[in-house]
Amino acid sequence: MRAYERFLQYVKVYTTSDPESDTVPSTMRQKNLGKILVEEMRQLGIADAFMDDKGYVYGHIPAKDCASTVRLGFIAHMDTSPDYHGENVNPVLHPDYDGEALEIGCGKVLSPAVFPHLKSLKGRTLITADGTTLLGCDDKAGIAEILTMCEEILENDLPHPALSIGFTPDEEIGSSADSFDLEAFAADFAYTVDGGEENEIVFENFNAAGAEFVVNGVNIHPGSAKNAMVNASLLAMEINSLLPGCDIPAKTEMYEGFYHLVGMSGTVETAKLSYIIRDHDAAMFASRLKTLKHIAKTMNEKYGEGTVVLTITEQYRNMAEIIEKNYHLVENADAVIRGLGMEPSHSPIRGGTDGARLSFMGLPCPNLGTGGYAFHGPYEHVTVEGMDTAVKVLRGIVEKYTK
């Protein structure tokens, strides 16, 4: 079975995660796909495949005709983003795509004017949703490619090192690494298969933190507020004005970091500002957090201690710190990608990935492309040929570690 054929089945299973939930997994519907994958893995010959009570799927393929003792893993996630509708996905194939604007349904047009890479997909079979939902190639394409690679290795009785397979819930809400069982997965190194174009190998991501300012004001009738009222909402506006106006997502790219105001609420009595803080450079990241602390200190000196309460929660770190010590993971993937006639793409992730947290948990884990584009919305798309190439990349990496 080709990867896209598996993919067309998986996207029809509703697996959207829920950031407001306090259960693991955040939505029980993710286990529906987990059960399907466990059964499929067993049919392929991955005899020990199982899903734990938290919805994580694990399986292992013992080494065959391989002198190396390396245990190599591949990981993808089962949930889709809560940012857009993920139920009743209807995938549509567009054979021999002409590289031009394509109406995908509900008046939505997939256009090279917005997505310039579409020109490079001319002649391929494009897969989209029907305009009402996201497609789900983030990351059901990764799941399909991993299992297709496993099928090809097992059906053809190919030599390979010990392989560990893992499919996780709740990646899209940032908690999939929380309950990942490294002992059950049993690998020395791994790759997440959760990226973009098929020549992508990514090992750099943001250092990340969340920051919340709570502002405590004094609410008095405006008729008698002279020298007594402290308007928390106005103080919140002042806090934001103290941050550099050019260091926001809309004005930064590549390795440039930012302060991103993701939410605000307020009355005269109390106000709240929620930010995410990002920077690839560890020293710059530390400086950004120091700036926030200085703002809180300055505001309290100006308006009284306890007026502003700042809470900073560190979220993940740049996995380059770990991958640089295990650079064979990148070098081997680069060699495979070049062997397939492509130039490897090393663009830094302006976000996070499971691999970042797993790397710091002791499982060095760069991220490979799936061939997908425009994730988390109705314009999400992938090509049949791109998925086939991604499978070849996975196969090639396995061969490298066999030798």
Q: Give, rounded to a whole angstrom, the gap between the first and last alpha carbons of the chain.
A: 27
Nearest-angstrom CA–CA distance, 179 and 170: 10
List 171, 194, 198, 247, catalytic entry:
171
Instruction: Give catalytic status of residue 256 as yes or no.
Output: no
- Answer left, alpha or beta for residue 107, where phi above 0 means left and psi between -120 and 50 means alpha: left
Nearest-angstrom CA–CA distance, 358 and 384: 30
Nearest-angstrom CA–CA distance, 58 and 71: 14
Nearest-angstrom CA–CA distance, 293 and 312: 9
377-to-9, 53, 82, 134 alpha-carbon distances in Å: 19, 30, 10, 5
- Pairing verdict, β 126-128 and 381-383: antiparallel
SS3 279: strand
Tell me which H or E stretch contains 190.
strand 189-195
Nearest-angstrom CA–CA distance, 143 and 150: 11
Residue pair 242/297 in contact (Cβ under 8 Å)? The answer is: no
391-to-94, 146, 193 alpha-carbon distances in Å: 21, 7, 10
Instruction: Give catalytic status of residue 152 as yes or no.
Output: no
List 40, 79, 138, 170, catalytic entry:
79
Counting every residue written for the chain, the total comes to 403
DSSP class of 378: T
Phi, psi (rounded to 5 degrees) for 218 = -125, 115
DSSP class of 348: P
Among residues 344, 284, 352, 295, the alpha carbon closest in space to that of 318 is found at 352
SS3 356: helix
Nearest-angstrom CA–CA distance, 74 and 363: 11
Residue pair 4/124 in contact (Cβ under 8 Å)? The answer is: no
The catalytic site residues sit at 79, 171
